[in-house]
């Protein structure tokens, strides 16, 4: 089973999340932060309204780091600003900034960010283009983290490693949003995965409690063959 997910930031302006959900959208990844200081002015409002509409919500950070140390500080800033939120989708790091274009291997930078996210009990995910995943982010060290890949203009991504989400268009038209929006396909039931693992500071889904019936109650119900 697959699910429709949108990438939403302040760029989309006012969003009617009730209409978004009624158009068949299952979840939204909201831009929260960028670099070490920028907090999206739309994040809190979008989070509250998306949750109220019954959508699954995740968050992402636009990474500006050029070193692992900077990446760790950016992760800490990101985590500070998503703390206390009920996030049923992953926490993603968006790696595509100009600062990283001249760096041939982003393994240490990506790993520093994701390690910080995971060490704080969250489900970490890396977002980038298929091109960067094949070059700058191709190290096997990053295979332990989930991927959110971006490749448009194709019926199937040209990528042979596992990935959880595929951003297939930057030009989707969705009810409740003025203008175009990025849309992805999720291949995983992230809310169940995250809750069952106890990640994102969410409580695991509890199985229904079994009602205990005493022998005396069974006898009263007509099960006379029950022996004490």
pLDDT of residue 212: 59
Provide the pLDDT for residue 208.
Answer: 46
Share of the chain above pLDDT 90, in %: 89
- Mean pLDDT over residues 63-86, rounded? 98
Predicted local distance difference test score (pLDDT) of residue 33: 98
Is 154 a residue whose pLDDT tops 90? yes
Task: Report phi then psi at 73, rounded to 5.
Answer: -65, -40
Over range 27-37, report the average pLDDT. 98
Q: Cite the DSSP H helix spans in 83-129.
A: 107-119
Q: Which residue has the higher pLDDT, 28 or 205?
A: 28
| Percent of residues, the chain, with pLDDT higher than 70 | 89
Which one-letter DSSP state was computed for residue 177? B
Residue 193 CA, chain-centre distance (Å), reads 11
pLDDT for 112: 98
pLDDT mean over 127-155: 98
**CA 224 distance to own-chain centroid:** 55
Query: Which SS3 state, helix, strand or coil, does residue 56 take?
Result: strand
Closest CA to 152 of 171, 172, 168: 168
Taking CA atoms, 48 is separated from 55, 70, 157, 163, 220, in Å, by 10, 30, 33, 28, 51
pLDDT at 11 over 70: yes
List Cα–Cα distances, 129 to 16, 136, 202, in angstroms.
28, 10, 30
pLDDT of residue 191: 97
**Residue 218, pLDDT above cutoff 70:** no
CB 66 within 8 A of CB 95: no
Q: What is the pLDDT of residue 207?
A: 54
DSSP classification of residue 208: P
Q: What is the pLDDT of residue 141?
A: 98
Q: If pLDDT is split at 50, 70 and 90, which confidence band does 204 have?
A: confident
For residue range 81-115, list pLDDT tens digits in order. Answer: 999 999 999 999 999 999 999 999 999 999 999 99
Q: What is the mean pLDDT of the chain?
A: 93
Better pLDDT: 219 or 161: 161
* Res 203: pLDDT: 86
Q: What is the pLDDT of residue 215?
A: 53
pLDDT of residue 94: 98
């Amino acid at each position: 089973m697959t699910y429709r997910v949108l990438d939403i930031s302040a760029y989309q302006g006012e969003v009617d999340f009730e209409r978004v959900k009624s158009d068949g959208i299952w979840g939204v990844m909201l831009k929260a932060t960028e670099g070490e200081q920028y907090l999206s002015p739309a994040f809190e409002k979008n989070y509250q309204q998306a949750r109220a509409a019954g959508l699954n919500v995740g968050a992402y950070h636009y990474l500006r780091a050029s070193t692992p140390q900077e990446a760790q500080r950016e992760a800490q800033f990101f985590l500070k600003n998503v703390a206390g939120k009920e996030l049923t989708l992953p926490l993603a790091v968006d790696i595509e900034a100009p600062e990283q274009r001249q760096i041939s291997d982003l393994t240490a930078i990506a790993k520093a960010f994701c390690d910080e996210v995971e060490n704080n009990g969250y489900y970490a995910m890396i977002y980038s283009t298929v091109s960067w995943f094949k070059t700058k982010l191709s190290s096997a060290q990053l295979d332990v983290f989930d991927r959110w890949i971006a490749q448009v203009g194709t019926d199937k991504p040209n990528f042979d490693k596992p990935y959880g989400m595929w951003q297939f268009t930057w030009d989707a038209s969705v009810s409740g949003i003025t203008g175009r929006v990025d849309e992805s396909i999720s291949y995983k039931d992230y809310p169940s995965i995250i809750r069952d693992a106890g990640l994102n500071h969410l409580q695991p889904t509890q199985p229904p409690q079994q009602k205990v019936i005493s022998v005396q109650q069974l006898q009263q119900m007509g099960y006379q063959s029950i022996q004490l």
